[in-house]
Amino acid sequence: MRRRGLTPLVLAFGVLLTLLASAPALAAGYRYWSFWEGTGGQWQYATQGPSTARPADGSVLGFRFSVSKDAAAEAAKPRAAADFAAVCAGTPAVEGRKRIALVVDFGVPADAPAGDAPPQDAPRTACAQVAPDATAAEALAQAAKPLRYNSAALLCAVSGYPKQGCGEPIADTAQEPSADPSAKRSTDPSTETSANPKPSAEPEAEDGGPSTSLLVGLVAVAALAAAAVWQSRRRR
């Protein structure tokens, strides 16, 4: 009798193991350009994309290329200070124009796609002088052409780097490419706009929670387990 009562449990666990084995692996990281705003000398992850953000005169903007383990919790910040005075000291103010300090960090060689390399080791700085209503993307284009975007307006390349790819998921992060102590951040990029989103290749179930199929499997296991207990007690 007990063997018959255990049969549903055995079957249920078999179903659960099958679901676990067939569940797609979540991407462990992404290779992409992140967009930052300087506030009080500190970098804060931008809440808008560069094509919609319209920075005020005296703003500091940062762009960093890196591999991040989780676009929702970690991203490498630009490795230069968010210092407007240091970047724009040699650019005099002009009436009818605004000055935007730019920091463009091409990242480290370990983060580069295969067959590519950062165009320079140290971050590049520039003071863009643009129209009062210019966007961050327009300021960046003045200082770091050519730019490349994908069909979803995700910034893919700055100054032609990288040559290919755009926010692709990276499955193997054993080498911990960025290894940047400043990579931790508290800003949640789920509020990002289309020009500075989580990388476009991100799967829908990228919130770290269990997939729908796994949840269904767990419910099935619980239901069958309860049925097995009830059946075994009844037959006693």
Q: What is the pTM of this model?
A: 0.66
Q: In sequence order, what are the residues at sequence separation of 6 or more whose Cβ sits closer than 8 angstroms to the Cβ of residue 227?
A: 8
* pLDDT at residue number 170: 86
Q: Are 185 and 48 in contact (CB under 8 A)?
A: no
Cα 115–chain centre separation: 22
**Alpha carbon 49 to chain centroid distance?**
13
Tokens of 228: 């097995």
pLDDT at 18: 52
So what's the pLDDT on residue 165?
Answer: 95
pLDDT of residue 231: 59
Instruction: Check residue 212 and give its pLDDT.
Output: 44
Residue 163: what pLDDT?
97
Pairing of strands 59-68, 29-39: antiparallel
Q: Tell me the mean pLDDT per 10 residues along the chain, length 236.
A: 51 48 56 95 93 97 89 79 97 97 97 96 97 98 96 95 94 50 34 41 36 46 52 58
Q: Ramachandran region of residue 179, left (φ > 0), alpha (ψ -120 to 50) or beta? A: left
Please say whether the beta carbons of 101 and 88 come within 8 A. yes
Report CA-CA distances (Å) from 210 to 25, 101, 215, 221: 11, 42, 7, 15
